[in-house]
Structure 1
Amino acid sequence: MTAAAAPAPAPFAARLVRAPRAHEPDRGRESWEALAPDLGLPELRPLIEGAAGSSPYLRDLMAKEAAWLPGALAGPPETALAEILADAAAAIAEPRTLGTALRRGKRRLALLTGLADLGGVWGLEAVTGALSDYADAAVEAAIRAGLAEEIARGRLPGTEADPSGTSGLVSIAMGKGGARELNYSSDIDLIFLFDETRHAPEDYAEIRARLVKVCQGAAQLLSKPTGEGYVFRTDLRLRPDPSVTPVCIGMDTAERYYESLGRTWERAAFIKARAASGDIEAGERFLGELRPFIWRRFLDFAAIRDAHDIRQRIRDHRGVGGEIAVPGHDVKLGRGGIREIEFFVQTRQLICGGRDPALRPRATRPALAALTRAGWVAEETAATLDAAYLAHRELEHRLQMVEDRQTHSMPTATEARDRIAALAGYPDRETMERELDARFHAVAGITETFFAPGQSRKAQPEAAAADAPSAAALPATGLAALEARGFARPEAGAALVDRWREGAIPATRSDRARGLLAELEPLILNALARAASPDEALIQFDRFLSGLPAGVQILSLFSANPRLLDLIAEICAVAPRLADELGRNSRVIDAILATDFFRPLPDADALEAELKGWLAREGEDYERKLDAARVWAKEMRFRMGVQLLRGIAGAEEAGRGFSAIAEAALRALMPEVEADFARRYGPAPGAGQGGGAAVLAMGRLGSREMTANSDLDLILLFDAAGEEASDGPKSLSSAVWYARFAQALIRAVSAKTAEGALYEIDMRLRPSGRQGTVATSIEGFRNYHAERAWTWERMALTRARAVAGHDGPMAAAEAAIAEALGRRRAPEKTRADAAEMRARVAEAARAGRREPWAVKRVRGGLMDVEFAAQAGLLADIDASPEGGSETACAALPHAVDAPRALRALAERGAMTVEDAETLAEAHALQSRALQALRVTLVGRFDPETAGAGMEGVLCRVAAGEDAGAAGAAGSEASGGGGIPGLEAALRAAQARAGDVVDRLLPPPDDDDGPEAGADPAP
């Protein structure tokens, strides 16, 4: 079934929706009467009279093109445009008349677009797109003619050596031309480049000289006024260092310049850059190479100040920064004008476009829409700016239509403004000026707040923005500032702040960083003063700031987002671990500004898709993909940790979230590792026949209970599907291929790159432990668990699940797990072995066995409860009348956490409800405490040194309360007394749970240990 063809565009006259007023009605009637006999379309009269009666330029064009215009307006304007573009392309065949042909085409284009614009036949994008398309066609014709002449004279390679006929020359359209936004009387900004790799090194200088001549000739042909007018004024000054470089330079030279000397305004200019004519493929390749220069990987809030400085220099140079008054106001550069909106949009694109390619449209309106969809601009703000931009651009066109002058300023003479009001279709000048004044002020109100330094800016997602905390009525700096804000040790705090001011830390060594700090210091102190323990928060903030390699970016971020200081202060006060991570990896703060930062973390599938998008942006660079995965995971773990601190997520949700992050990372990275490995040793043996590798998650990842610093307990299984060896540049036997692949996967995840390690990996739970191979065949896994596995290994399988790899082996691995769990043994033997293993673990952890904060290994702690639950599951399967049947295993599924296992055992009568509830309650309380401890601390928890902020978070999370709750100090779970109350609650729960586990898994009478020769359980 074929798709229906798009309907043909309607004729010009049928699409008229408006018409200008005739400022000089007699002139308008004269033009209509001259054209009417040939036009034969009376519905065009208001448009013709209005345009000719208000625009001398359009009136003159109508007279010059009286023979052409009726045919152009008889059909759709798109047809007339296509003919104009085709004529430009055909004109290359006659170099001597090329200039005349292009000028005639430009004249017709100006008339067609002017009438289509004034009549509402085309919207803004269609008008600017038509102008831009003709600019591309004209430049193409001009350089092709010049190239053809040089080729004919033997000065450039002919088509046999260079089939494209371009010698690698390309014009990069910049500014409005690049974005296809040219205005009615616009310059075209071009950068001419050529691809040096197309030529022998010894020919480079001569080739460049010939191409310089071609480019100079093209620019002159397009710009020079003749009796036929001009085509486009052409500006070549946006090239690198234009005062010393020729008008055409090599791409490699340009790339080196931008990478070493490129400035923020050049980055902003290249947002709109587009390969427009000549060797388009080479031009797009160059722009691809320049992408890291344009789009920084981190959120670049320093760009705001840079853009503000550029904006201020333009105002000072042009004298357009004064009060808004419609007469004489510059619609483009003045306050509230077009450039303000463009800067507003482009600066936001520079800030966050490096992280999100969806925010990189060249054109202003699509870019504003993309920023709004992503939450970086509020919908109301976007609607105001978009409407203003559209109206400003249409007004700009009318200003230029009057005399074809490159002007952007409203006339000062009253009669001239009357003319503009008529051409723009207003009923009178007063109505127009009231509307313009309101629009300029509305735009200025938005953009001034964003750019003005030292004011509350809203460059973060605006839905989450808030006004900056005020420092009013408080000393701004010095010892008095700390005393006034309630710091208990102001002298010590002042010494830290003095270090910042003196540039004694890397973050404040530059003048620019110290300038930003001077503006921000009152806000920083305000934010820290609101912490539960301001002095602790200040010490940790100093550690964070001192750990930064540079400070301009982070201080610019705080300047643009004062709200962030509250969150950073909170983290410094309550979570030294997260604060330390911020100091070492400050870019994780970028994640806070994402619109979904405080939303629940998506599941592993969605996270995998997101991470794959990150990896895809790195192209084929394997090392950069590994770094990208680490940056992504840091941001996600940081997000999850902050949500736990803030009470947005509970401890159980945090466990699922941390696990989903790890699972997504494994899923996304495993194919990348396999592809890189296959390039050297061939594809995975058996992968083409339904085989391949599968990764089993064990431990906390398997049961989805990971914490902020959990490592990954993994087993790698494979199925070679009968293939004995790989087929690649270097063939390996199947067993060796998968063993080395497993090692490559371990390195990819655990190796410390420039971005650190992704996760530590523990593979001791694989068959035969440390003595076993790092990759096990699925058949070998089955045989091992059928013949040699210890009880503790079978217990570990209750939390196992396949999380990554090829579909066939993953399904086979799941079946093998179920088969191993279902192998019936004596229930008494299972419980006895579990009790013996518990005793061995208790002996190894004797020092912390009575420490209530060592919640994993303390008597009655998490490991005790998990031993009881896992042994109970296996013993129930063993005692089931169905034995190892599917029915029994389905009733007690694997990959379960302890609470689910205990509920299942109670429901089946394999454990009393009272015992199950006692163990589940102890597990829940200690799991919540563990999640809080792992997020906030590195190392052992000391109740004596825990600050008030950390105490509050720990007690609240342990109590299972959300951010709106009153706090754990009065909660039952914490015993009603902060840390002492929580400690008492932990001891009581551990004692009760320990008694239950002692009954279920009685300690053995001898000290022989579990099963002689077995690896101790990890």
Structure 2
Amino acid sequence: MNAEQLQKTLRASQYAEQVLNLHQAVLEQDYAVDQFSSSFSTEKIQHLVQDALVSIHDEMTWMHTIRVLRARLMFRWIWQDANQMTEVVTLTRELSDFADASIIAAKAFARAPLVAKHGEPIGYSGKVQDLIVIAMGKLGAQELNLSSDIDLIFAFDEQGECNGRKSIDVQQFCILWGQKLIYLLDHITADGFVFRVDMRLRPWGDGSALAISHVALEKYLSQHGREWERYAWIKARIVSGGKEGDDLLEMTRPFVFRKYVDYTAFEAMREMKAMIEREVTRRNIEDDIKLGAGGIREVEFIVQVFQLIYGGSKLELQDRQCLVSLQHLGQVGLLEQNAVSDLEDAYLFLRRVEHAIQALNDQQTQSLPTEPDLRHRMSETLGFESWEAFIACLNQKRSKVIYQFEHLIKEKGLDATVENFGQLEKQLDVVLDEKTKNLIHEFWFGHAIKKLPAKAVQRLKEFWPHLIEVVLQSDKPQIALLRLMPLIESVMRRTVYLVMLIESKGALQRLVKMATVSPWICEELTHYPVLLDEFLSMDFELPKRQDLEDSLRQQLLRIEIDQVEDQMRVLRLFKKSNVLTVAASDVLAESPLMKVSDALTDIAEVSVSATLNLAYQTVAKKHGYPLDVEGNRCSLSHLAFVVVGYGKVGGIELGYGSDLDLVFIHYMDEQADTDGHKVISGFEFAMRVAQKFMSLMTTQTLDGRVYEIDTRLRPSGEAGLLVTSLKAFEQYQIKRAWVWEHQALVRARSIAGEQTLRDKFEQLRCRILTLPRDEQTVRAEVLKMRQKMKDHLGSSKEQKKDGIFHLKQDAGGIVDIEFMAQYAVLAWSGTNKDLAHYSDNVRILEDAAKAGYLSSNDVSALIQAYLSERAESHRLALANHSMQVSAADWRDTREVVCKLWQRLIDPAAVFALESE
């Protein structure tokens, strides 16, 4: 060995002296093959660990071997650091690689005895479960120190049971697995330890289960995750766990990195900093170069606060490593380049000091030594002539960190008030009536405010002038304020929303504009404040079908099949948040009507399809699978069940608040038994699937319902069975159905279920609709049904005299147009099957023009009238208004509809408008 380098190493570390005394021969051999001067790749370190432990089956030998390897590598790292033969980033990466390799080796060694005793851990899906090891802190960021603890969290994908004779559940298996992993690395033997393992960052900390399922972790983070945990999870990294581990980590990203610009991170950082300062004072550790003023933690805080604020929108800021993210902050312009340079320089210096401290005695500490000899040895290792010279340099580096940190955490806008607030109050006083002024007074001096924590009251007072400023800029300030007051009251305890609206004026302006247009949207946000997260972060583009499917599938994938409440919550919030997105796009981006209806229909179809799969799985788990009519097993990939949408969902014309007209059809052998432990017939299986579907969709919870569902269009209506076989449906439609039921079938469309059965239904629908019919009979039946609807649902004579027009039900309204489209299919598709292809009114009318049954001019005018009336119905729904409008405003549109109605169906209708 090089004598001078050896001397520097031993001066730098008393621990290195101990290692040399114990392993001199091995260390000389390492030095001879030049393992002290070169850097090690990740693969090299992995091979070192694997080669050392290969073929070792005895626990004591395994533990001895890996501890000796750790001592050799530690001596090498201290040698390199003391002789300035490595960079801080290289050293911390190699240390982290060794920790990863040790964890993977310990995990593999710990598994075999557990499997021998309990069998393989099998999840409910049938997959063998793995122990997912999540590295947190410095190991997660691959920035490990010479003597760092390693912070870990253990997880697994899904619950289940082991398949051995002494079976235990998957969670207990993973707990035992994790306990053994910790013991193999953490237990102190005559050879020392490999790594101290700290598990306190797991959900609920000490005292909680050592391993947690994906579902439980997701639930914890969404419902109980605290701000400091967001900071911690920035550095989270999967050490071992395969695709399931990657999926789990991806699940945590929205918790850490919010979609919107999250200014609340400033306050969370200030609170954590204050907590650390109290701890530093309490423990008298001002000389701690990690926790003290201007220390490593402050550099990390500066970087992390920007990551939490902007990481959701600037993906480059999601990197785990402090220095990498620091460079990105400079590149995106969030930090001045000189600040980046000062912080990087200070951080690297502080980390090198940290290594010098820990090298002395292989202790996890960041406090500067107090003994003169240790101070002299450390300053010498770091290249300073004296301790005083070192301290002067250290203080200079720390002062630059302190400056940047103090500059960053100054209150940024949260205590600022809008200029000239007094003038704004005077302007508000002018535009408000006395009733509204009284409501505002009652709000500020009522019980709700008195019960608020002082901090929440302060935030509300800071928010109020910003709200008033934007409200006064709107065209309907009084309406906006009245509609927003209940929303403000519902969220004022969750001050994060108020902070976001203060800091994001654009979001506040959008909220005020939405309030002026749509009380319905305000009511949704008030009843379900969780939707405000989506509203404040949405980009106002209509959701795409594939994105909807992917989003809901991912949300439901990790919910176990018996967790019904969680399933219901996901389904409800998925529907509500996406409908809100459509409404915002409709109002703020002025999206076209047809695209809005397409998007609303897509949301419904995706919800129906996911709910059907959940219902089917639930029944199959309990009773096994049935057989179809051809004797095939109806597994999850062959449901033999279809949901048919009628009315607006069938016609791809859903509006806001529309219910769903649904019919359930199956293709199962009703007499054959299922293949599970609790056997039921195929008929009963189909019924239970339909009942479970209805329960998941329509049960009233705190999150409302997914949709109101109407099943009265099924064969025989309310007197009929909830679910019908395809054969029975066919016989009913051909032999017993009324003409109005065939009218309804025009707007029917399969929207969920097994594709082969969906195709069979579509073929059957086409066959029924194209049956030969007498045109006069169809005309008479259509007219009779239309008159019934007018009598029961249309405007009264008194309302008509008062100039009221029911946009949907009165003459010249939406239903007239729908009935003409249905008449066209029933009367003419017997000779032209193409007319029965589509279920939406616009394309039916267009096909009628192509086939020559209607003129292009008539169809064009009719479609324009239809779209105008539907657009108005959407606007009225958003405004929480009825479908009754001024007849005078719609006279020209109605005349177009009534003239064609008269020519096509009812000659007497020409006088309908004149008679009003």
Shorter chain as normaliser: what TM range?
A: 0.7 to 0.9
Superposed counterparts of 1:551-630, under 5 Å: 551-559=494-502, 561-594=504-537, 597-603=539-545, 605-620=546-561, 621-630=563-572
Question: Structure 1 pair 541/236, CA: closer, same or farther in 2 (3 Å)?
Answer: closer
Q: 1:998 aligns with which of 889, 892, 902?
A: 902
Output the amino acid matched with 1:709: G
1:183-198 counterparts in 2 under 5 A?
183-188=144-149
8 Å CA contact 1:834, 1:871 repeated in 2 = yes
* CA deviation vs aligned residue, 1:292-327 (integer Å, no higher than 9, x gap): 99889999986663343113443576699x9xxxxx
Asked whether the 8 Å contact 1:713–1:763 carries over to 2, the reply is: yes
Taking the TM superposition and a 5 Å limit, the aligned residue runs for 1:209-608 are: 221=188, 264-265=227-228, 268-269=231-232, 305-314=267-276, 330=294, 332-334=296-298, 337-345=299-307, 363-364=320-321, 394-401=348-355, 404=359, 448=408, 453=411, 455=413, 472-475=418-421, 481-485=424-428, 488-489=431-432, 492-493=435-436, 495-502=438-445, 504-505=447-448, 509-547=452-490, 550-559=493-502, 561-594=504-537, 597-603=539-545, 605-608=546-549
**Counterpart secondary structure, 2:97:** helix
Deviates more, 1:657-666 or 1:564-573: 564-573
- Indicate if the aligned counterparts of 1:507 and 1:513 stay in contact, CA closer than 8 A: no
In 1, the alpha carbon distance for the partners of 2:351 and 2:586 equals 54
Question: Aligned residue for 2:289?
Answer: none
Q: Is contact 2:640–2:757 with CA below 8 Å preserved after alignment?
A: yes
Change (3 A) 1:66 1:770: same
**Displacement of 1:650:** 2.0
Deviations 1:123-174 (A, max 9, x none): 5884352253377599999x99xxxxxxxxxxxx99998999xxxxx99987
> Is residue 818 of structure 2 the alignment partner of residue 862 of structure 1?
no
**Counterpart position of 1:808:** 756
- The residue correspondences of 1:51-70 to structure 2 (distance < 5 A) are 65-70=27-32
Q: Which string of whole-angstrom CA distances, capped at 9 and with x for unpartnered residues, describes residues 275-307 of structure 1?
A: 999xx99xx9xx99x999988999998666334
**Aligned counterparts of 2:505 and 2:397: Cα–Cα separation in 1:** 33
Alignment of 1:66-215 (within 5 A): 66-71=28-33, 73=35, 77=41, 78-79=43-44, 82-83=47-48, 93=60, 101=68, 104-108=71-75, 110-111=77-78, 126-133=93-100, 136=103, 175-177=136-138, 179=140, 181-188=142-149
1:685 and 1:724 in contact (8 A); partners too: yes
Within a 5 Å distance, the mapping from 1:766-845 to structure 2 comes to 766-845=714-793
Q: Percent identity?
A: 19
Please state how far the C-alpha of 1:918 moved relative to its aligned partner: 2.7
C-alpha distance in 1, partners of 2:132/2:84? 28
Alignment map for 1:819-968 (pairs within 5 Å): 819-847=767-795, 850=800, 854-878=806-830, 883=831, 888-890=832-834, 892-937=835-880, 939-940=881-882
Tell me by how many angstroms 1:117 deviates.
10
Query: Equivalent residue of 2:644, what SS?
Result: strand
Query: 1:584 and 1:76, CA in 2 relative to 1: closer, same or farther beyond 3 A?
Result: closer
With structure 2 as the length reference, what TM-score do the two structures score?
0.73
Q: 1:826 to 1:161 in 2, by over 3 A?
A: closer
**Mapped partners of 1:378, 1:761: distance in 2:** 53
Following the alignment from structure 2 to structure 1, what is the Cα–Cα distance between the partners of residues 514 and 725? 46
Q: Aligned with 2:33: secondary structure? A: helix
Pair 344,554 (structure 1): closer, same or farther in 2 beyond 3 Å: same
Amino acid in structure 1 at the alignment position of 2:270: H
1:660 maps onto 2:660 in alignment: no
Of residues 636, 644, 650, the one that matches 1:702 is: 650
C-alpha separation between the residues in 1 aligned to 2:483 and 2:405?
Answer: 39
Aligned to 1:154: none
Structure 1 alignment gaps of length 5 or more: 1-27, 36-50, 145-156, 165-169, 200-207, 323-327, 423-428, 457-467, 944-979, 1006-1018
Change (3 A) 1:177 1:138: farther
| 2: CA distance, partners of 1:261 / 1:68 | 50
Give SS of 1:333's match.
helix
SS at match of 2:421: coil
SS of 2:99 mapped into structure 1: helix
1:671 aligned residue? 613
**Aligned in 2, Cα 1:905/1:505: closer, same or farther, shift over 3 Å?**
same
Offset, 1:87: 5.2
What RMSD over aligned residues (CA atoms) do the two structures have, in Å? 6.0
Change (3 A) 1:118 1:783: farther
Is the CA contact (8 Å cut-off) linking 1:800 and 1:895 kept in structure 2?
no
- Deviations 1:396-426, CA, capped at 9 Å, x for gaps: 44344556476599xxx9xx9999799xxxx
Change (3 A) 1:361 1:483: closer
| TM-score, length-scaled by structure 1 | 0.67
Q: What's the secondary structure of 1:181's corresponding residue?
A: coil
Tell me what 1:642 maps to.
584
| Change in 2 beyond 3 A, CA 1:347/1:231 | farther
Q: Deviations over 1:510-555 (max 9, x none)?
A: 3332122122121122222222211111111112233459433433
Among 630, 633, 647, the alignment partner of 1:688 is 633
Pairing 1:631–2:584 present: no
> Separation in 1 of the partners of 2:79 and 2:272?
36
Instruction: Name the SS for the 1:629 alignment partner.
Output: helix
Question: Relative to structure 1, is the Cα distance of residues 138 and 988 closer, same or farther in structure 2, using a 3 angstrom cutoff?
Answer: closer
1:697 Cα offset (Å): 1.0
Q: Shift in Å at residue 381 of structure 1?
A: 5.2
Say if 1:271 and 1:875 are closer, same or farther in 2 by CA, change over 3 A.
Answer: same
Contact preservation (8 Å) 1:618, 1:624: yes
Contact 1:799 1:897 in 2 (8 A): yes
Kept in 1, the 8 Å contact 2:525–2:532? The answer is yes
User: Contact 1:574/1:936 (CA < 8 Å) preserved in 2?
Assistant: yes
Report the CA distance between 1:387 and its aligned residue: 10
- Displacement of 1:591: 1.4
Q: Which residue of 2 aligns with 1:714?
A: 662
**Alpha-carbon spacing, 1:127–1:581, altered in 2? closer, same or farther (3 Å):** same
Structure 2: 5+ residue stretches without partners: 121-130, 167-174, 287-291, 369-374, 385-389, 910-916
Q: Give the residue type in structure 1 aligned to 2:463.
A: L
**Is 1:987 matched up with 2:906?**
no
Q: Deviations over 1:746-768 (max 9, x none)?
A: 22211212321110111222222
User: Per-residue deviation at 1:647?
Assistant: 3.0
- How many Å apart are 1:496 and its aligned residue? 3.8
Hey, what's the Cα distance between the residues in 1 that align with 2:516 and 2:141? 51
CA shift, 1:740, in A, is 3.4
User: By how many angstroms is 1:827 displaced?
Assistant: 1.9
Q: Encode CA deviations 1:957-977: one digit per residue, 9 max, x unaligned.
A: xxxxxxxxxxxxxxxxxxxxx
- Aligned partner letter, 1:724: A
Rate the CA distance shift 1:908–1:291 in 2: closer, same or farther, 3 A: closer
Task: Write the deviation string for residues 80-128 of structure 1: whole angstroms up to 9, x where unpaired.
Answer: 5643676589796369978983762352352588599966798588435
- Across the two proteins, how many residue pairs are aligned to each other? 825
